[in-house]
Structure 1
Amino acid sequence: MKSTEWSSESRLSRRAFLKSASLATAALGIGMSAGADNAARRPDILFIMSDDHCANAIGAYGSRLAALDPTPTLDSLAREGMLFENCFCVNSICSPSRATILTGQHSQANGVLVLEQPLPPERQYLPTLMGQAGYETALIGKWHLREEPAAFEYYKVLPGQGRYFDPIFHESTRGAYPNNRIEEKGHSSDVMADSAIAWLAGRTSEKPFFLCLHFKAAHGPWQNAPRYDSWLEDVEVPYPDNLFETGGHGSIATRGDGDELARYIGTSIGLRHPLRNMAGQLEIEAAGGEESTLKAAYQLYLKRYLRCIRGIDDNVKRVLDYLRESGRLDSTLIVYTSDQGMFLGEHDYFDKRWMYEESMRMPLIVRYPRGVAAGARSDALIDNTDFAPTLLDFAEAEAPGFMHGRSFRPILESGEEPEGWRDAVYYRYWMHLDSHYNPAHFGVRTKRFKLIFFYGSGYKAEGVRTPPGWELYDLEADPFEMNNVYGRPEYAEIAESLKRRMLELREQLNETDAAYPRIQAIIDRHWTTTPESVAEAVEISHAAKRQFDQEAEAAGSPRKSAPRGQSANSAANPE
């Protein structure tokens, strides 16, 4: 089935979508009359998504952690299906990424730019359209989009971030939202898998199912089920080389003039960041010097994180075993992904948010023996706007024109990129200096290059500004992004070409800053590097350092929670 192109002319308005939804039963003659025939050939769909599961923590991706065997089930899934090497999110933070998956749209189009913004039922397009296509829809696990997931026929979801142990859920069968709460005993990963199996076992409908199983793990603070406490206990987890070496990574935007902001931009594993670091968060004593503290923090962080990952993997196995025993495994399209990636010490960072590889890259594995060759790999550029069109394609439903993504079903079935497939992914992170001290930025990534523009200002209140600046990485020569080559003469033509592509995508996606004139003014002044723009960036850097120094002096010691922006957010909708 052909996917709708990205042209702005073809996009339906939200009002048009709602009108078409109200006429769905009449319009979809394929719905009931052809339902039995379609059910016989359309797959059941199991969409499994974890939280903050970076590709580096899946053995099949072959990172430094593969030897620890953190994901035997997911590795098996990859051997039996297709693994995508270049799948990316377009805004690496929980709620916005989830909204993109459900809408097929970039953040500015779907209205979820940052954590505190909701996704109301009328914009929950994917489950709405799957239901119209004759699927029984269900969502179990993490939701994190504030309003009721009413577009699903059945839901059992955590309020906000939820708890690792004895989680509370909103369940659709227990009355009106938000008073439909129930507490379940046990670890959240176990409880969610139990709930998914129970829902599958209790189905009486002859419709195909669309089940979203969304684990809370491996979001921090990391709490694994006790049975994993001894795993990795006597093992030294391998370190990334760029935990200790900076190289030529970064720019004035991320390190300040003369590196004066290096200790304040991006929360750290060790003691680099005086306001928020992993050593402080894990309450590791700063004994034996900075390097020993950094190593101790890294080891504890990685072990807690990987134990949560192993819990996900084992529970995925339980659900797949149930499908196998019930005879539905091979007729089910199984998708495994995460809402975004995660830094595991690379560049001395933790968390996500950045456009750098560890954060932007999403794991993506798809198994479906009836259409996807076993053991296949693809380097096609996929982003999370493509998920909804692809799932709708397998459901034999048309993706609306207002979705930015395209179905990658042809890639799954042929292993080849169709003509005209995307040559670049557009990315934007909006939450300037919120919680983890990341400057706001946008950029483009092709298969070989990545160009990032840090504009360094909030989209609402300006707050502390950070210097505007550019970064360019040659991912073929420098896969770990250790050398910013922006400004080098040999890359000048490439940088200009990528800038033109960036502008084309911003226009194509209606990703302008007309509503944010302060940001647009920064873009205009710093799009081309001039003596005036450099002088302004240096001045902003010095001012930011003064403000950060004052904050660090007032704080006295590393904080364990977010000091800025997130504070008003954290109780109701923590990161």
Structure 2
Amino acid sequence: MKITIYSRYENHLKKYVLVIIIACFIVSCSAQKNKIINTQQKPNIIFIMSDDHAYHAISAYDKSLIQTPYIDQIAKEGALFKKAYVTNSLCGPSRAVILTGKYSHINGFRDNQDTFDGSQQTLPKILKSNGYTTGIVGKWHLKTDPQGFDYWNILHGQGDYYKPGFSKLGKDTLYKGYVTDITTDLALNWINANKEKPFFLMIHQKAPHRNQMPPLDNLNLFNDRTFEMPSTFYDDYKNRLALQQNKTSMINDLDIDQDNKVPCDTCGNNKTDKFNPNAYKREIKRLSPEEKAIWDKAYQKVYAQYASIKNKDELIRWQFQRYMQDYLRTVKSVDDNVGRVLKYLKNNNLEENTIIIYTSDQGVFLGEHGLYDKRFMYEESFRTPMMIRYPKGIKKGQELDEMVMNLDIAPTLLSYAGITPPNDMQGMSMKKILSDKSSSTTWRDKIYYHYYEDAYGITPHYGIRTDRYKLIHFYGKLNTWELYDLQSDPQEMKNIYDDKTYANLLENLKKDLKDLQLRYKDTSN
């Protein structure tokens, strides 16, 4: 009987079962499809940071020094921050702030003598715990091994321009070639192997950090240029005691070999690098014989120029030109390699769902106030380039005037990844001002800075910057204050701290400064 019934309805049953199987298959596929979609909705994140890249050496900010079309492309296709600042203008501390979203006194890395505590909460750890594959290549400069990364391949210490040594997950490797190209090669190889699921990659370039050794292809670039010296180059430092004690002067402290690439057997009585003797000789030895031949041919005319210099003023001007040539040659290489990353993303259909940030660990002086290096709270050092592109989530062509900081990078990236930033992060998510201009009314109107290191004649200091004014307190070996009206004196040449006209303003600024120190829990000074 059962067989008879089965036989009678066999065709209908087969059809019914087939419908169920097809329906289940569709549901399964749909669920799988939704799973993929949900995974892909998490944006990939590429964070590119160079070392000592002045914002005014990027043509998106200033076209007078160099054209940087690929870095500019990030800004044009996304957003350019016109007032981006750092909490502490020094390499290691800036990196620690970006990783943690916390000021130096909280994350424990105040200056380059400190050691980063990798056990603490960091941006890569949070992303990794939320489904991201994480990696970092290039300059690390925090002494301890990276934590929170599935992959790391980092330069030894400060890093070398030629034949650089890397540590890959603790294993040391020497790579032939030029460091900016190698760092990008490692980055693209890693992305290629990890592009099937959301990834977070930090690409940290060594360039254009001193001693600015350019790639071989760029050795003759800018030979036909004469760069205009900044109007503040011969600053006399009147009424600014901290500047009077600095040892990062282009007039007095540039090195003939390290900075100008003149071998010291031709230096006569001129000094070598007083902070790092024989550094240039060690760097030159890293060149292969073939590289050395190309290098010597290009710089032979530099030796001849140096030999013909007749007086101190001529030497100062010549050294400035040489410094700028090599600095911008390395910047050109950074920009070219940013172009390689952008091209890869486009060719692999990754650009729409990838956030890409370009920034520097801080600003740097290019002759302003007669200085090289960074550290000071003056604008050229305090301010940093920053731009972000995310076609799916950020309207292109934006130029933002809000004061943002490297402190804000971690909470911003977490927000775009759909992760609520931890409450103990001290930065603010820039997503609110990137997506809703009305949010600018609730954005910060003052920022706090604190530099701790006592080196190169630059004493520790902290301060506050508002849209118009800047107040700085130098302490330690000094106890001196500086106040600037950035509207009437944007180059910060006139310290008006003792001007009684500003007494009420000064009182209010000191109160605001104290409030910021309390807000950020920096109460040691």
TM-score > 0.5, shorter chain as reference? yes
What is the rounded CA distance, in whole Å, between the counterparts of 1:134 and 1:214 in structure 2?
23
| 1:403 maps onto 2:425 in alignment | yes
Distance 1:311 1:333, change over 3 A: same
For 1:390 and 1:375, the matched residues in 2 are separated by 19
SS of 1:350's equivalent?
coil
2:228 is the counterpart of 1:238 = yes
Supply the distance in 1 between the matched residues of 2:369 and 2:247 (Cα, whole angstroms).
9
Q: Does 1:277 align with 2:267?
A: no
The alignment status of 1:183 with 2:168, answered yes or no, reads no
SS of corresponding position for 2:358: strand
Q: Partner of 1:502 in structure 2?
A: 513
Say if 2:365 is the partner of 1:343. Answer: yes
**In the superposition, relative to structure 1, how do residues 344 and 200 fare at CA in structure 2: closer, same or farther (>3 Å)?**
same
Whichever residue aligns with residue 204 of structure 2, its letter is: H
Counterpart code for 1:277 = L
Match of 1:537?
none
The equivalent of 1:473 in structure 2 is 484
SS in 1 for 2:64: helix
What residue is the counterpart of 1:159 in the other structure? 156
The residue type paired with residue 467 of structure 2 is: K
Displacement of 1:120 in angstroms is: 2.8
Residue 140 of structure 1 aligns with which residue? Answer: 137
> Do 1:250 and 1:471's aligned partners in 2 also have CA atoms closer than 8 Å?
no
What is the match of residue 427 of structure 1? 449
Work out the CA distance in 1 between the residues paired with 2:106 and 2:185.
36
Residues of 1 paired with 2:519 and 2:498: CA distance?
Answer: 27
SS in 1 for 2:501: helix
Does the aligned pair in 2 maintain the 1:193–1:315 contact within 8 Å?
Answer: yes
Aligned residue for 1:211, secondary structure, equals strand
Asked whether the 8 Å contact 2:250–2:367 carries over to 1, the reply is yes
Would you say the 8 A contact 1:100–1:107 is kept in 2? Answer: yes
Secondary structure of residue in 1 paired with 2:250: coil
Verify: 1:85 aligned to 2:96, yes or no. no
Instruction: Report the counterpart of residue 334 of structure 1 in structure 2.
Output: 356
Tell whether the 8 Å contact from 2:84 to 2:386 is kept in structure 1 after alignment: yes
Listed one character per residue, the Cα deviations across residues 66-91 of structure 1 (whole Å, up to 9, x for unaligned) are 23433121122222111101111111
| Contact 1:87/1:384 (8 A) holds in 2 | yes
Q: Is the 8 A contact 1:439 1:454 kept in 2?
A: yes
**Using the alignment, how far apart are the partners of 1:479 and 1:419 within structure 2?**
24
Amino acid at match of 2:55: A
* Contact 2:449–2:464 (Cα < 8 Å) also in 1: yes
Q: Per-residue CA shift, 1:476-499, capped at 9, x if unaligned?
A: 221111211212122222211111
The equivalent of 1:61 in structure 2 is 61
Distance 2:482 2:34 in 1: 53
Deviation string, structure 1 residues 453-495 (Cα, Å, up to 9, x no partner): 011x2xxxxxxx2x31111111122111121121212222221
In the alignment, the residues of structure 1 paired with residue 36 and residue 428 of structure 2 have an alpha-carbon distance, to the nearest angstrom, of: 27
- Counterparts of 1:403 and 1:250 in 2: how far apart (Å)? 40
Aligned counterparts of 1:194 and 1:477: Cα–Cα separation in 2: 47
Aligned position for 2:112: 115
Cα gap change, 1:416/1:351 in structure 2, threshold over 3 Å: closer, same or farther?
farther
Q: Determine the C-alpha separation between the residues in 2 that align with 1:37 and 1:43.
A: 11
Please give the alpha-carbon distance, in whole angstroms, between the structure 1 residues aligned to 2:91 and 2:510. 28
Cα-to-partner distance string for 1:216-259 (whole Å, 9 max, x where unaligned): 1111111111100111012101211100244xx5635325xxxx
Deviation per CA, 1:120-171, whole angstroms, max 9, x where unpaired? Answer: 3212511000111211111011111111112111111112111111111111
CA apart distance, 1:328: 0.7
Contact 1:380 1:417 in 2 (8 A): no
Query: Does the C-alpha gap of structure 1 residues 377 and 493 become closer, same or farther in structure 2, counting only changes over 3 Å?
Result: same
Query: Residue 70 of structure 2 aligns with which residue?
Result: 73
Match of 1:354 among 376, 380, 386: 376
- Offset of residue 412 of structure 1: 1.5
Structure 1 residues 496 and 451: CA distance shift in structure 2, 3 A:
same
Query: Is residue 472 of structure 2 the alignment partner of residue 452 of structure 1?
Result: yes
1 CA distance for matches of 2:128 and 2:408? 19
Whether 1:226 and 2:246 are equivalent positions in the alignment is: no
Is this contact kept in 2: 1:341–1:363, CA < 8 A? yes
Question: Which residue of 2 is the match for residue 52 of structure 1?
Answer: 52
Equivalent positions of 1:372-383 (< 5 A) are: 372-383=394-405
| Distance in 1 (alpha carbons) for counterparts of 2:442 and 2:238 | 33
Number of the residue aligned with 2:409: 387
Q: Secondary structure at the match of 2:428?
A: coil
2:186 corresponds to which letter in structure 1? S
Secondary structure of 1:303's aligned partner: helix
**Judging changes above 3 Å, is the alpha-carbon distance between structure 1 residues 214 and 352 closer, same or farther for their aligned structure 2 residues?**
same
Q: What is the CA RMSD across the aligned residues, in angstroms?
A: 2.0
Give the match for residue 295 of structure 2: none
How many Å separate the matches in 2 of 1:280 and 1:296? 13
Unaligned 5+ segments in structure 2 are 1-31, 271-308
Partner of 1:129: 126
CA distance in 1, matches of 2:358, 2:248: 28
Q: Secondary structure at the match of 1:385?
A: helix
Q: Is the 8 A contact 1:54 1:362 kept in 2?
A: yes
TM-score normalised by the chain length of structure 2: 0.82
For the Cα contact (< 8 Å) 2:254–2:319, is it kept in 1?
A: no
Which residue of 377, 385, 389 corresponds with 1:367?
A: 389
Secondary structure of 2:232's counterpart equals helix
What residue identity is the alignment partner of 2:47? F
- What is the alpha-carbon distance in structure 2 between the residues aligned to residue 57 and residue 198 of structure 1? 29
- Confirm or deny: 8 A CA contact 1:371 1:412 kept in the other structure: no
One-letter code of the match for 2:168?
Answer: E
Deviation per CA, 1:84-139: give whole Å up to 9, x if none. 01111111001101000000010000000010212232125110001112111110
Q: In the TM superposition, what is the alpha-carbon distance from 1:373 to its structure 2 partner?
A: 2.0
User: What displacement does 1:281 show?
Assistant: 4.6
1:493 and 2:513 matched: no
Summarize deviations over 1:386-443 as a string: whole Å, max 9, x none: 11000111111121111111101111123454443211111011112x1x21111100
1:398/1:483 CA distance change after superposition, 3 Å: same
Structure 2 CA distance for aligned equivalents of residues 337 and 34 of structure 1: 35
Alignment length (residue pairs): 449
1:195 pairs with 2:190: no
Tell me, what secondary structure is at the counterpart of 1:495?
A: helix
For residues 318-372 of structure 1, the C-alpha deviation after alignment (integer angstroms, 9 at most, x for no partner) is 1110110001112111100000010000001110000000101110011112222
1:436-447 residue pairs with structure 2 within 5 A?
436-447=456-467
Q: Deviations over 1:497-527 (max 9, x none)?
A: 11111101111111011xxxxxx5xxxxxxx
- Write the letter of the residue equivalent to 2:430: F
What 5-or-longer segments of structure 1 have no aligned partner?
Answer: 1-31, 256-261, 458-464, 514-519, 521-575
Tell whether the 8 Å contact from 1:372 to 1:413 is kept in structure 2 after alignment. Answer: yes
Structure 1 residues 428 and 234 mapped into 2: Cα distance closer, same or farther (>3 Å)?
Answer: same
Structure number, greater radius of gyration: 2
Q: Which whole-Å deviations, capped at 9, do the CAs of 1:517-539 have from their partners, x for residues lacking one?
A: xxx5xxxxxxxxxxxxxxxxxxx
Task: Say yes or no: does 1:322 pair with 2:349.
Answer: no
Matches of 1:70 and 1:325, distance apart in 2: 24
CA distance 1:250–1:408, change in 2 (3 Å)? farther
